[in-house]
Amino acid sequence: MTGFAGPRVPILEPDEANDLCRPFLSSLPISGVSVTVFSSSGTQSSLCSSDPVSARIDELQFELGEGPQWSTARSGDMVLLPDVRSGGHDDWPVFGAALRELPVAALFSVPMRMGAVTVGVATLHHSKPGQLKQEHQNTSLAIASAIAIAAVQQAMASATDDAAPESVSTPALRREVHQATGMILVHLDTTATIAYSRLQAYAFSNGRTVQAVAGEVVAGTLRFEKTFP
């Protein structure tokens, strides 16, 4: 397969969080997409995932702190993986191994820019291997640019809205994880970086998601002590 075929269709102007994924799906030959915004402090806000596989890709990158979206967020460049089962993924070995367990054959990270600043990433995936054609790369960049302002506005609104709905299409922001990290920071009298690393390590060693463990920390049913792994 030398490239995905598919017509280019007009870019939509999104009004709601669900629409942030829709322009990519309607304009590009892909199987799924997720849209994530990053604050200046590195906080990640997941605004939409078109399907459970896209949601899991986003969740894995958040939990592991590695993956192509982080490379795109740092560099502002697209990351193109036309065949995720080839190559060693040296830059993100744990994510690469986890990705092979999903029905994903190709993965593409697209920067969302406001001027010269990368404010977020759209992660596209396909169930079949193949490179994203240049015209589709251009279209994906244009869509990402078109939704950037709306994405930032949605992230800011959701960050202050405790009643924001949670679903596959619009997963809740990672408020609970950030809250749990803050609680662990206090419990261990350490830094935020170390506190989050401990949260990640506990989740990974117990075969659970970071969000599930964070929920227990916030609920008070799990407390990290200095003797915890």
The pLDDT value given to residue 186: 85
Report helix, strand or coil for 102: coil
Where do we find the tokens 């193109």? 80
Report helix, strand or coil for 174: coil
The pLDDT value given to residue 196: 77
The pLDDT value given to residue 31: 96
Average pLDDT along the chain, 229 residues, taken 10 residues at a time:
43 53 94 88 81 92 89 93 85 89 95 89 96 96 91 73 48 68 84 78 75 87 74
pTM of the predicted structure, to 2 decimals: 0.70
The pLDDT value given to residue 15: 47
The pLDDT value given to residue 123: 97
The pLDDT value given to residue 4: 46
The pLDDT value given to residue 40: 66
Please give the CATH number for the structural domain made up of 17-159. Answer: 3.30.450.40
The pLDDT value given to residue 174: 62
Q: Are the C-beta atoms of residues 109 and 78 closer than 8 Å to each other? A: yes
Q: Are the C-beta atoms of residues 45 and 153 closer than 8 Å to each other? A: no
Pick from 187, 179, 176: nearest CA to 223:
187
The pLDDT value given to residue 228: 53
The pLDDT value given to residue 158: 65
DSSP 2-62: --------PPP---SGGGGTHHHHHHS--SEEEEEEE-TT--EEEEEESSHHHHHHHHHHH
The pLDDT value given to residue 125: 97
One-letter amino acid identity for 36?
Answer: T
Question: Which run of H or E residues covers position 182?
Answer: helix 175-188
The pLDDT value given to residue 26: 93
The pLDDT value given to residue 173: 45
Domain boundaries, the chain: 17-159, 175-219
- Determine the Cα–Cα distance for residues 177 and 210; give it in Å rounded to an integer: 7
Q: Are the C-beta atoms of residues 188 and 195 closer than 8 Å to each other? A: yes
